Amino acid sequence: MKPRDVQVFPITSQITVLRSRTWDRLKFEIEYGLQRGTTANSYLIRADKTALFDPPGESFTEIFLEALQKRFDPKTIDYVILGHVNPNRCITLKALLKIAPQITFICSNPAAINLKNIFLEPEFNIQQFNVKVVKGEEILDLGQGHQLEFIPTPNPRFPGQMCTYDAKSKILFTDKLFGAHVCGDQVLDEGWKVYEEDRRYYFDCIMAPYAKQITTALEKLRDKPANIYATGHGPLVRYALTELTAAYQTWTSTQKSQELSVAIIYASAYGNTAILGQAIAQGIIKAGVGVESINAETAEPEEIKAAIQKSAGFIFGSPTLGGHAPTQIQTALGITLANADKTKIAGVFGSYGWSGEAIDLLETKFRDAGYRFGFETIRIKFKPTDVILKTCEEAGTDFAQAVKKATKSRQPKPSASESESARTEQALGRIIGSLCVVTCKQGDLNGAMLADWVSQATFTPPGLTIAVAKERAIESLLHNGNQFVLNILQEGNHLGLMKQFLKPFAPGEDRFAGVATEDAENGSPILKDALAYVECSVGDRMECGDHWVVYAVAQKGKVLHEGVTAVHHRKSGSHY
């Protein structure tokens, strides 16, 4: 594994990017799930005045400041422009203030409030610092033609987020927008199609729950003729400007147009509850249900009321502070109990340090009011792990399925008369496939699913395709480069395995309990009672309606027993 470093690259004669890089995954958060490393991009404009954009978080503090001091004099920096503020980034800001106390921070008002609150905490203990608050769209003149325009682009997760546009270079500094968590030597996005999956995954994890706010942000940025999107993470966007902007517009429109939606209302003292909510949202979105995430700490009561009234279900997330839920959560609770009818599905989650009274309070209030729950209440102590986040994602998918089932039960039943559509479904159902079980393991995570939409696809290299429903828990473990085993079931000896992997699993439940397995060379489970197995590596994915078609290369395999392949006969092409 390569060590962490800082790549310094001149974008123009006066603008430099400092890319703090790691090929490791930084921390347990769902947006890092592809495990392809990341870059934290900072930028320096040196004109009559000097501005530094978005110093990285604590993981890079030491190497970033070393690289900065080696090439530039920090005492010449006039401004530090912050696209968003969080405690992790403030570790670096504190260290920067020690060597450059003259700097003035420039950020939005919510970010300035957050900055002051963090700096005044005992572990920071910073009493004196300079901050300029951006109100609306303001201009900062650095001289030599570099006029910076600040554009607030807030959303519930990053209420202080803003973008910055430099008219001279036509560079748009986008902070969280248009990024990707991927690490490499490439600074710009030549051959940008190789980043499509990374950018889509990043959007689905971070942006999709805030589609309404992202749409507003895109509208604000529409009139800024950019040559480069200077992103906060991943390669800078130059060659895919048109395509990526159009993709964001399509993805946000798709998310907003979902027939059903769920409101996730949360507060987060240290960020852990927000991370849990993000994982739950990801599971809901995978299942084809829209999400509106609302940060109760910044939302207006009318916004919460409107979201509750239009949603088919709601989920509350809360930390516990001094044995209680934050005041904003208690306010949102009152609004919800007064406006949500009892047909809506409810859910509760939260993180805590020493106690979890807020979580118990929310659960009790909703159960006493007669709401049905879409998943078992999630209580997490301290920081979530990969396994916990996967459990939250699965809980979100279960919640979405409960919402869809409840909505469908209230709709009138269709006519029993045979239609052209029904005849087509019957014909499509006559396509048969081999009964298989896909198994995989990544670190502490494992997954399995019964599959019969499997077909050999290529001879050279030997390859196959598998159709995976977007809402399947295993889907997030089948991205490019991931390993799995295709276990082919044996006719006459398949019913036990079929029943095992056909049954619904609770979030986090062990799929392999009571099943005879051994580890393949790629680490995934081989089912000993299968007819044969093939070890595979995902080579590509294609989005097809409500499924992903996964293309995989067969690396090795073996026939375990004599016999013939079990097949699945269906009567309809509208369900499995």
Q: At 217, which CATH number?
A: 3.60.15.10
Q: Which whole-number Å values give the CA distances from 262 to 243, 275, 310, 314, 352, in the listed order? A: 29, 17, 9, 5, 24
Tell me: the pLDDT tens digits for 552-562?
Answer: 999 999 999 99
Read off the tokens for 435.
Answer: 């009964």
Sheet arrangement for strand 130-134: 5-10, 15-22, 38-46, 50-53, 79-81, 104-108, 130-134
Mean pLDDT across the stretch 331-345? Answer: 96
Tell me: the pLDDT tens digits for 28-41?
Answer: 678 888 889 999 99
Last residue in a domain, options 366, 382, 409: 409
Higher pLDDT, 172 or 138: 172
SS3 157: coil
Tell me: the pLDDT tens digits for 465-480?
Answer: 999 999 999 999 999 9
**Does residue 418 sit within a domain?**
no
CATH number at residue 445: 2.30.110.10
Same domain, 62 and 119: yes
Q: How many domains does the chain have?
A: 3
Same domain, 130 and 203: yes
What is the structure's pLDDT at 500? 96
Same domain, 204 and 300: no
Tell me: the pLDDT tens digits for 254-302?
Answer: 999 999 999 999 999 888 999 999 999 999 999 999 999 999 999 999 9
What amino acid is encoded at 259 in this protein? E
- Sorting pLDDT into bands at 50, 70 and 90, what band is 135? confident
DSSP assigned state of 205? I
> Percent of the chain beyond pLDDT 70?
98
> Percent of the chain beyond pLDDT 90?
86
Same domain, 467 and 403: no
Same domain, 353 and 219: no
Is the separation of the CB atoms in 51 and 79 below 8 Å? yes
- Sorting pLDDT into bands at 50, 70 and 90, what band is 320? very high
Peptide bond into 461 cis (omega under 30): yes
pLDDT of residue 108 exceeding 90: yes
Domain that holds residue 349: 258-409
Q: Which region among 127-141, 162-176, 316-330, 479-493 has the lowest average model confidence (pLDDT)?
A: 127-141
What is the structure's pLDDT at 447? 95
- Sorting pLDDT into bands at 50, 70 and 90, what band is 417? low
Same domain, 265 and 346: yes
Closest CA to 317 of 380, 371, 256: 380
**Does residue 214 sit within a domain?**
yes
Q: Which region among 58-62, 132-136, 417-421 has the lowest average model confidence (pLDDT)?
A: 417-421
**Does residue 419 sit within a domain?**
no
Mean pLDDT across the stretch 396-401? Answer: 97
Same domain, 183 and 244: yes
Read off the tokens for 198.
Answer: 């990374």
pLDDT of residue 423 exceeding 60: yes
CATH number at residue 309: 3.40.50.360
How far apart (Å, rounded) are the C-alpha atoms in residues 320 and 324? Answer: 5
Mean pLDDT across the stretch 71-82? Answer: 97
What is the structure's pLDDT at 29? 78
Q: Which are the contacts of 367, defined by CB distance < 8 A and separation ≥ 6?
A: 373
Same domain, 437 and 401: no
Same domain, 289 and 318: yes
User: Phi first, then psi: what are they for 273, rounded to 5°?
Assistant: -65, -40
Distance of CA 559 to the CA centre of its chain: 39
**Does residue 417 sit within a domain?**
no
**Does residue 66 sit within a domain?**
yes
How far apart (Å, rounded) are the C-alpha atoms in residues 249 and 234? Answer: 20
Is the separation of the CB atoms in 304 and 294 below 8 Å? yes
Same domain, 397 and 436: no
pLDDT of residue 415 exceeding 80: no
How far apart (Å, rounded) are the C-alpha atoms in residues 160 and 151? Answer: 11
pLDDT of residue 1 exceeding 60: no
Closest CA to 110 of 78, 79, 156: 156
Length reported for the chain? 576
Same domain, 179 and 323: no
What amino acid is encoded at 490 in this protein? Q
Last residue in a domain, options 354, 374, 409: 409
pLDDT of residue 106 exceeding 60: yes
**Does residue 416 sit within a domain?**
no
What is the structure's pLDDT at 27? 64
What is the structure's pLDDT at 419? 73
**Does residue 576 sit within a domain?**
no
Average model confidence (pLDDT) across the chain: 94
Read off the tokens for 211.
Answer: 């589609």
- Sorting pLDDT into bands at 50, 70 and 90, what band is 413? low
pLDDT of residue 411 exceeding 80: no
Same domain, 493 and 554: yes
Last residue in a domain, options 255, 279, 309: 255
Q: Which region among 19-28, 348-357, 473-482 has the lowest average model confidence (pLDDT)?
A: 19-28
**Does residue 134 sit within a domain?**
yes
Tell me: the pLDDT tens digits for 224-238?
Answer: 999 999 999 999 999
